[in-house]
Protein backbone atom coordinates (compact mmCIF):
# COMPACT_ATOMS: atom_id res chain seq x y z
CA UNK A 1 0.00 0.00 0.00
CA UNK A 2 1.48 3.43 -0.95
CA UNK A 3 2.30 5.70 1.99
CA UNK A 4 -0.63 8.08 1.39
CA UNK A 5 -2.97 5.10 1.26
CA UNK A 6 -1.50 3.67 4.46
CA UNK A 7 -1.99 7.03 6.16
CA UNK A 8 -5.63 7.10 5.03
CA UNK A 9 -6.15 3.52 6.20
CA UNK A 10 -4.76 4.23 9.66
CA UNK A 11 -7.06 7.24 9.97
CA UNK A 12 -10.12 5.36 8.63
CA UNK A 13 -9.41 1.60 8.43
CA UNK A 14 -10.34 -0.57 5.47
CA UNK A 15 -13.54 -2.44 6.31
CA UNK A 16 -15.54 -4.42 3.73
CA UNK A 17 -18.07 -7.26 4.24
CA UNK A 18 -17.48 -10.52 2.30
CA UNK A 19 -20.84 -10.21 0.51
CA UNK A 20 -19.63 -6.96 -1.06
CA UNK A 21 -16.15 -8.32 -1.82
CA UNK A 22 -17.75 -11.07 -3.91
CA UNK A 23 -19.19 -8.43 -6.26
CA UNK A 24 -15.75 -6.96 -7.04
CA UNK A 25 -14.23 -8.18 -10.29
CA UNK A 26 -10.96 -10.02 -9.43
CA UNK A 27 -7.87 -8.52 -11.02
CA UNK A 28 -9.51 -5.25 -12.05
CA UNK A 29 -7.87 -2.32 -10.23
CA UNK A 30 -10.45 0.05 -11.76
CA UNK A 31 -13.45 -1.92 -10.53
CA UNK A 32 -16.06 0.68 -9.42
CA UNK A 33 -16.78 -1.21 -6.20
CA UNK A 34 -13.12 -1.67 -5.33
CA UNK A 35 -12.43 2.05 -5.79
CA UNK A 36 -15.05 2.88 -3.17
CA UNK A 37 -13.37 0.83 -0.44
CA UNK A 38 -9.65 0.60 -1.14
CA UNK A 39 -7.51 3.50 0.14
CA UNK A 40 -5.73 5.56 -2.52
CA UNK A 41 -2.43 7.37 -2.12
CA UNK A 42 -4.36 10.57 -2.86
CA UNK A 43 -6.07 10.34 0.55
CA UNK A 44 -3.02 12.11 1.96
CA UNK A 45 -3.72 15.16 -0.24
CA UNK A 46 -5.50 17.98 1.51
CA UNK A 47 -6.38 20.68 -1.02
CA UNK A 48 -7.94 23.88 0.28
CA UNK A 49 -11.63 23.56 1.04
CA UNK A 50 -11.54 19.91 2.13
CA UNK A 51 -12.18 19.70 5.88
CA UNK A 52 -13.05 17.25 8.68
CA UNK A 53 -16.70 18.37 8.96
CA UNK A 54 -17.62 19.59 5.46
CA UNK A 55 -21.35 19.98 6.09
CA UNK A 56 -20.84 21.43 9.59
CA UNK A 57 -23.01 18.75 11.18
CA UNK A 58 -21.69 19.71 14.59
CA UNK A 59 -23.44 23.10 14.36
CA UNK A 60 -26.86 21.40 14.02
CA UNK A 61 -26.59 19.30 17.21
CA UNK A 62 -29.61 19.70 19.50
CA UNK A 63 -27.97 17.44 22.07
CA UNK A 64 -25.52 14.50 21.87
CA UNK A 65 -26.72 12.14 19.15
CA UNK A 66 -29.57 14.35 17.86
CA UNK A 67 -29.29 16.79 14.96
CA UNK A 68 -31.91 19.06 13.46
CA UNK A 69 -31.19 20.50 10.01
CA UNK A 70 -34.67 20.68 8.51
CA UNK A 71 -38.03 21.89 9.78
CA UNK A 72 -40.22 19.03 10.95
CA UNK A 73 -37.47 16.41 10.85
CA UNK A 74 -34.79 15.36 13.31
CA UNK A 75 -31.88 13.04 12.75
CA UNK A 76 -30.66 10.67 15.42
CA UNK A 77 -27.12 9.31 15.21
CA UNK A 78 -27.71 5.91 16.82
CA UNK A 79 -24.26 4.48 16.21
CA UNK A 80 -20.88 5.29 14.72
CA UNK A 81 -20.54 1.78 13.29
CA UNK A 82 -20.96 0.92 9.59
CA UNK A 83 -20.83 -2.38 7.73
CA UNK A 84 -18.31 -0.84 5.35
CA UNK A 85 -15.95 2.10 5.23
CA UNK A 86 -16.60 4.14 2.08
CA UNK A 87 -13.46 6.12 1.38
CA UNK A 88 -15.44 9.24 0.43
CA UNK A 89 -17.62 9.23 3.56
CA UNK A 90 -18.39 12.75 4.77
CA UNK A 91 -18.50 11.46 8.34
CA UNK A 92 -15.10 9.75 8.22
CA UNK A 93 -13.80 12.23 10.81
CA UNK A 94 -17.06 12.61 12.78
CA UNK A 95 -16.44 12.52 16.57
CA UNK A 96 -18.54 9.41 17.19
CA UNK A 97 -16.73 8.86 20.49
CA UNK A 98 -18.52 11.97 21.74
CA UNK A 99 -21.92 10.60 20.71
CA UNK A 100 -21.86 7.07 22.12
CA UNK A 101 -24.93 5.02 21.22
CA UNK A 102 -25.84 4.31 24.81
CA UNK A 103 -29.42 3.82 26.00
CA UNK A 104 -28.98 6.93 28.16
CA UNK A 105 -28.16 9.09 25.14
CA UNK A 106 -31.02 7.54 23.17
CA UNK A 107 -33.50 8.10 26.00
CA UNK A 108 -32.49 11.76 26.25
CA UNK A 109 -32.94 12.15 22.48
CA UNK A 110 -36.39 10.50 22.64
CA UNK A 111 -37.34 12.88 25.45
CA UNK A 112 -36.25 15.87 23.35
CA UNK A 113 -38.41 14.59 20.47
CA UNK A 114 -41.38 14.17 22.79
CA UNK A 115 -41.08 17.80 23.86
CA UNK A 116 -40.93 19.24 20.33
CA UNK A 117 -44.34 18.95 18.69
CA UNK A 118 -43.03 20.43 15.42
CA UNK A 119 -41.11 17.23 14.59
CA UNK A 120 -43.11 14.78 12.44
CA UNK A 121 -40.32 12.59 11.13
CA UNK A 122 -37.43 10.90 12.88
CA UNK A 123 -34.48 9.84 10.75
CA UNK A 124 -32.16 7.15 12.07
CA UNK A 125 -28.64 7.63 10.81
CA UNK A 126 -25.08 6.88 11.82
CA UNK A 127 -22.76 5.22 11.04
CA UNK A 128 -25.37 2.77 9.85
CA UNK A 129 -28.39 2.34 12.13
CA UNK A 130 -29.00 -1.22 10.93
CA UNK A 131 -25.73 -2.35 12.53
CA UNK A 132 -27.63 -2.02 15.83
CA UNK A 133 -29.42 -5.18 17.03
CA UNK A 134 -33.11 -5.66 16.29
CA UNK A 135 -34.23 -5.81 19.94
CA UNK A 136 -32.68 -2.38 20.57
CA UNK A 137 -34.14 -0.93 17.38
CA UNK A 138 -37.54 -2.46 18.19
CA UNK A 139 -37.54 -0.76 21.59
CA UNK A 140 -36.63 2.55 19.97
CA UNK A 141 -39.40 2.16 17.37
CA UNK A 142 -41.89 1.53 20.20
CA UNK A 143 -40.75 4.68 21.99
CA UNK A 144 -41.18 6.71 18.80
CA UNK A 145 -44.66 5.28 18.18
CA UNK A 146 -45.73 6.56 21.62
CA UNK A 147 -44.95 10.16 20.60
CA UNK A 148 -48.23 11.42 19.10
CA UNK A 149 -46.75 14.04 16.75
CA UNK A 150 -44.31 11.65 15.04
CA UNK A 151 -45.69 10.30 11.74
CA UNK A 152 -42.77 8.78 9.85
CA UNK A 153 -39.76 6.66 10.73
CA UNK A 154 -37.00 6.96 8.18
CA UNK A 155 -33.85 4.83 8.11
CA UNK A 156 -30.73 5.90 6.23
CA UNK A 157 -28.78 2.73 5.59
CA UNK A 158 -26.33 1.10 3.22
CA UNK A 159 -26.82 -2.35 4.80
CA UNK A 160 -29.42 -3.77 2.36
CA UNK A 161 -26.75 -3.23 -0.31
CA UNK A 162 -23.73 -4.29 1.78
CA UNK A 163 -25.15 -7.30 3.65
CA UNK A 164 -28.57 -8.09 2.15
CA UNK A 165 -29.16 -10.93 4.64
CA UNK A 166 -29.58 -8.18 7.27
CA UNK A 167 -33.14 -7.75 5.97
CA UNK A 168 -34.55 -10.53 8.15
CA UNK A 169 -37.93 -11.32 9.72
CA UNK A 170 -37.11 -9.57 12.99
CA UNK A 171 -36.19 -6.34 11.24
CA UNK A 172 -39.28 -6.41 9.05
CA UNK A 173 -41.46 -6.95 12.08
CA UNK A 174 -40.37 -3.86 14.11
CA UNK A 175 -40.14 -1.71 11.00
CA UNK A 176 -43.58 -2.50 9.65
CA UNK A 177 -45.64 -3.22 12.76
CA UNK A 178 -45.19 0.32 14.07
CA UNK A 179 -47.98 2.85 13.45
CA UNK A 180 -45.35 5.14 11.85
CA UNK A 181 -44.94 5.17 8.06
CA UNK A 182 -41.68 3.35 7.29
CA UNK A 183 -39.30 4.93 4.81
CA UNK A 184 -35.89 3.52 3.93
CA UNK A 185 -33.26 5.48 2.06
CA UNK A 186 -30.63 3.08 0.78
CA UNK A 187 -27.25 4.04 -0.69
CA UNK A 188 -26.10 2.44 -3.93
CA UNK A 189 -23.65 4.11 -6.29
CA UNK A 190 -23.31 1.58 -9.10
CA UNK A 191 -25.54 -1.03 -10.77
CA UNK A 192 -22.89 -3.70 -10.09
CA UNK A 193 -23.68 -3.35 -6.38
CA UNK A 194 -27.28 -4.47 -6.99
CA UNK A 195 -26.96 -8.23 -7.47
CA UNK A 196 -29.67 -10.90 -7.02
CA UNK A 197 -29.24 -11.09 -3.24
CA UNK A 198 -29.72 -7.35 -2.91
CA UNK A 199 -32.72 -7.56 -5.24
CA UNK A 200 -34.30 -10.20 -2.98
CA UNK A 201 -33.75 -8.08 0.14
CA UNK A 202 -35.28 -5.03 -1.51
CA UNK A 203 -38.25 -7.11 -2.68
CA UNK A 204 -38.93 -8.18 0.91
CA UNK A 205 -38.90 -4.57 2.07
CA UNK A 206 -41.11 -3.48 -0.79
CA UNK A 207 -43.62 -6.28 -0.19
CA UNK A 208 -43.74 -5.32 3.49
CA UNK A 209 -44.84 -1.82 2.47
CA UNK A 210 -41.62 0.14 3.05
CA UNK A 211 -41.17 3.19 0.82
CA UNK A 212 -37.74 2.74 -0.80
CA UNK A 213 -35.56 5.57 -2.04
CA UNK A 214 -31.90 5.69 -3.08
CA UNK A 215 -29.22 8.26 -2.60
CA UNK A 216 -25.96 8.03 -4.50
CA UNK A 217 -22.79 10.09 -4.51
CA UNK A 218 -21.24 11.24 -7.77
CA UNK A 219 -17.73 9.76 -7.66
CA UNK A 220 -14.91 10.20 -10.12
CA UNK A 221 -13.90 6.89 -11.71
CA UNK A 222 -16.89 5.09 -10.15
CA UNK A 223 -20.11 6.46 -11.64
CA UNK A 224 -19.26 9.72 -13.44
CA UNK A 225 -20.55 8.67 -16.85
CA UNK A 226 -24.02 8.86 -18.36
CA UNK A 227 -24.02 5.11 -18.96
CA UNK A 228 -23.10 4.29 -15.35
CA UNK A 229 -25.81 6.60 -14.02
CA UNK A 230 -28.42 5.32 -16.48
CA UNK A 231 -27.66 1.69 -15.57
CA UNK A 232 -27.82 2.45 -11.85
CA UNK A 233 -31.09 4.36 -11.92
CA UNK A 234 -32.90 1.97 -14.27
CA UNK A 235 -31.77 -1.00 -12.17
CA UNK A 236 -33.12 0.76 -9.06
CA UNK A 237 -36.46 1.34 -10.75
CA UNK A 238 -36.62 -2.34 -11.73
CA UNK A 239 -36.05 -3.23 -8.06
CA UNK A 240 -38.81 -0.92 -6.82
CA UNK A 241 -36.49 1.82 -5.52
CA UNK A 242 -37.00 5.45 -6.54
CA UNK A 243 -33.79 7.36 -7.33
CA UNK A 244 -33.96 10.25 -4.86
CA UNK A 245 -30.67 12.15 -4.70
CA UNK A 246 -27.39 12.23 -6.57
CA UNK A 247 -25.08 14.05 -4.18
CA UNK A 248 -22.21 16.23 -5.18
CA UNK A 249 -19.29 14.98 -3.07
CA UNK A 250 -19.05 16.57 0.36
CA UNK A 251 -15.58 18.09 0.57
CA UNK A 252 -14.18 15.91 3.32
CA UNK A 253 -10.44 15.68 3.91
CA UNK A 254 -9.01 12.57 2.23
CA UNK A 255 -11.64 12.33 -0.53
CA UNK A 256 -10.65 15.10 -2.97
CA UNK A 257 -9.66 12.56 -5.63
CA UNK A 258 -13.32 11.48 -5.90
CA UNK A 259 -14.61 14.95 -6.74
CA UNK A 260 -16.38 15.50 -10.08
CA UNK A 261 -16.67 19.00 -11.45
CA UNK A 262 -20.24 20.34 -10.99
CA UNK A 263 -20.43 21.28 -14.68
CA UNK A 264 -19.73 17.64 -15.58
CA UNK A 265 -22.40 16.54 -13.11
CA UNK A 266 -24.91 18.87 -14.75
CA UNK A 267 -24.08 17.47 -18.19
CA UNK A 268 -24.70 13.94 -16.93
CA UNK A 269 -28.06 14.90 -15.40
CA UNK A 270 -29.12 16.75 -18.57
CA UNK A 271 -28.34 13.68 -20.68
CA UNK A 272 -30.17 11.41 -18.22
CA UNK A 273 -33.26 13.62 -18.60
CA UNK A 274 -33.09 13.09 -22.37
CA UNK A 275 -32.65 9.32 -22.09
CA UNK A 276 -34.69 8.19 -19.07
CA UNK A 277 -38.25 8.65 -17.83
CA UNK A 278 -38.43 11.57 -15.40
CA UNK A 279 -39.08 9.32 -12.39
CA UNK A 280 -35.72 7.59 -13.00
CA UNK A 281 -33.66 10.77 -12.76
CA UNK A 282 -32.53 11.74 -9.23
CA UNK A 283 -32.21 15.31 -8.03
CA UNK A 284 -28.61 16.48 -8.25
CA UNK A 285 -27.97 18.14 -4.88
CA UNK A 286 -25.26 19.60 -2.74
CA UNK A 287 -24.98 20.16 1.01
CA UNK A 288 -23.65 23.63 1.60
CA UNK A 289 -22.05 24.48 4.96
CA UNK A 290 -24.37 26.56 7.12
CA UNK A 291 -27.34 26.08 4.74
CA UNK A 292 -30.08 24.08 6.44
CA UNK A 293 -31.44 22.41 3.29
CA UNK A 294 -29.88 20.60 0.35
CA UNK A 295 -29.37 22.84 -2.67
CA UNK A 296 -30.51 21.49 -6.04
CA UNK A 297 -27.68 22.15 -8.48
CA UNK A 298 -28.82 20.41 -11.65
S1 LIG B 1 -22.15 3.48 4.74
FE2 LIG B 1 -22.56 5.69 4.72
S3 LIG B 1 -21.96 6.43 6.77
FE4 LIG B 1 -21.03 4.37 6.45
S5 LIG B 1 -18.98 4.75 5.63
FE6 LIG B 1 -20.35 4.48 3.86
S7 LIG B 1 -21.02 6.56 3.34
FE8 LIG B 1 -20.18 6.64 5.42
Q: Domain segments of the chain: what residues?
A: 46-296
Sort residue 56 into left (φ over 0), alpha (ψ -120 to 50) or beta: left
Q: Kindly report, residue by residue over 212-268, the tens digit of the pLDDT.
A: 999 999 999 999 999 999 999 999 999 999 999 999 999 999 999 999 999 999 999
- Kindly report the protein residue whose alpha carbon is nearest to atom 1 of ligand 1: 158
For atom 6 of ligand 1, which residue has the closest CA? 86
Per residue in 78-115, pLDDT tens? 998 999 999 999 878 776 655 556 788 889 899 999 99
What is the 128 CA–ligand 1 centroid distance (Å)?
A: 7
Inform me whether the pLDDT recorded for 30 exceeds 70. Answer: yes
> E strands of 84-146, at which residues?
121-125
- Ligand 1 atom showing the smallest separation from residue 85 Cα: 5
Q: How many CB atoms lie within 10 A of CB 60?
A: 16
pLDDT of res. 29: 96
Radius of gyration of the chain (CA): 19
* Nearest protein CA to atom 8 of ligand 1, as residue: 89
Gap between the Cα atoms of 253 and 48, Å rounded: 9
Ligand 1 binding pocket, CB closer than 6 Å:
82, 84-86, 89, 91, 126-128, 158, 187
Is residue 71 within 8 A of residue 118, CB to CB? The reply is yes
pLDDT of the residue at 6: 75
46-296, CATH topology level: TIM Barrel (3.20.20)
Distance of alpha carbon 134 from alpha carbon 175, whole angstroms: 10
Average pLDDT over the chain, rounded to an integer? 92
CB count, 10 Å around CB of 19? Answer: 17
Amino acid sequence: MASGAAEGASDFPVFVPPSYLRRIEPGNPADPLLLQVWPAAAEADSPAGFTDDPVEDASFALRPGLLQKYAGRALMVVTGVCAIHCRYCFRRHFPYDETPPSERVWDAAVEALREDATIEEIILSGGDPLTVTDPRLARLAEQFAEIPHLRRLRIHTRLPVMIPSRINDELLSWLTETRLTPVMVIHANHAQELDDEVAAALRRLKEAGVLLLNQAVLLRGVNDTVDAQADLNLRLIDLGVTPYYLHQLDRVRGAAHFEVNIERGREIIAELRRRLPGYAVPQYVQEQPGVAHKVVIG
